[in-house]
Amino acid sequence: MALLGLLLLAGSAFAQDLKLDDLVNEALKNNPEILAFGSRIEGARQKIPQAKSLPDPMLMFGYQNEGFNRYTLGEEQGAQWMFGLSQQFLFPGKRGLKGDMAKLDAESQEAMLELLKLRTVSRVRELYLELFLAYKNIDLLRERQVLFARVEDLALVRYSTGKGMQQEVLMAQTEKYMLLEKEAMFRQKIESLEAMLKATIGREESATLGRPGIPSTQYFPYKTEEAVQMAVSHSPEIKSRGKMSEAAETRVRMAKKEFFPDFSINAGYYKRSGDFMDMWSLTSTINIPLYFFTKQAPALSEAKAGHVQAKQELEAARLMITAAIRDNISMVRSADTLMDLYKNGLIPKNAQDVDLALSGYATGRTEAIVVLSRLKTLLEYETQYWTQFTEREKAIARLHAITAGLDLKPGGEKK
């Protein structure tokens, strides 16, 4: 009895619905790409103080001797120990620009991390919906297997009484086996989807994930232009591209600064002995950008080209986001129309046709091929209804990721 209780408990645990919110939270916590990008951002942040720091000072020490025959310190004027310290200083404004570039690069990476999180959530939702659809298709196949089995039984009865042909029995059996084939294919698809979902949420265990519950219908009350404006205002991708453009503009300003020289301050101390006094020195060196026509000028042209590229990539991102929003909104509207057509028109009407065809076949007024054809059509309409439902919810999941601020409650309420 105890063993039976454990088996029943295990079976009930396995039958529990797979929760979408749990998968989303697990993905945000354990997704390898998100974790790797977090470390990447930490590295980018550490570049900021490095970029703003002064170059390392240089320490010099050595000895100067007169002649090669003996140690002449204290005997000859030029014999001395030498110690020096030099520090390079960049032209005013250069260190600040370097720090700004590093900061903008880090902020761009932070925005890209937010985009990665949104896309990961969208990916989890889409895989969850695909998994739900695979299970739902198996349910539909099993439900319709009952009707195909009924046709097979009627065909056997008609054949045994001489009212039907053996070909009708074979057709019914073939259709039944084709349903079993489709079910096997959907089961293989479930395994593939679970593998992809586990990779997305960062889970390594081999146990099955369980069956998804019926997803809540998400209503989309936003107009196209409203959604586009929301995306442009809040999209992490737009923010990231904007930061890249600002960084490119800062590089142009930095390239212009490179036409101005840097300088170093050098301090020296010379230790002598005997009757000779110690010496000290304070000097400055300045680099001369003499070859600006082969170094600074091309570097400035390169920076300007990079700035133009960054601005064009920002504009391209805006256009791509706008196109993606229009495309997904179109998919939502099309799916709404088709779902209504299937639910309130094609499926109930075809279900009536199937009932009439089955009654007619039982009495010999309808041929088997007609019944089988209508059954296949009914199954196709039911499958298409749930396919459109899934595609609709996937489109809304993508819209959520694109707009980065659009959050919908079931029932069409705006948060």
- Within 44-166, strands assigned E span 58-64, 80-89
The H-or-E segment that residue 351 falls in is helix 347-362
Q: Residues 233-267: pLDDT tens digits?
A: 888 989 999 999 999 999 999 999 999 999 999 99
Identify the three-state secondary structure at position 202.
coil
Q: What are phi and psi of 206, to 5 degrees?
A: -95, -5
- For 393, the 3-state DSSP assignment is helix
Q: Average of pLDDT values for 151-168?
A: 65
Residue 160 scores a pLDDT above 70: no
Would you state the pLDDT for residue 162?
Answer: 63
Report field, pTM of the whole predicted structure over 0.85: no
What SS3 class is residue 86?
Answer: strand
Parse the chain into domains and list their residue ranges: 40-55+92-258+295-403, 56-89+261-293
Question: 40-55+92-258+295-403, which class in CATH?
Answer: mainly alpha
**Measuring CA to CA, which residue among 180, 216, 182, 210 is closest to residue 197?**
210
Band the pLDDT of 312: cuts 50, 70, 90. Answer: very high
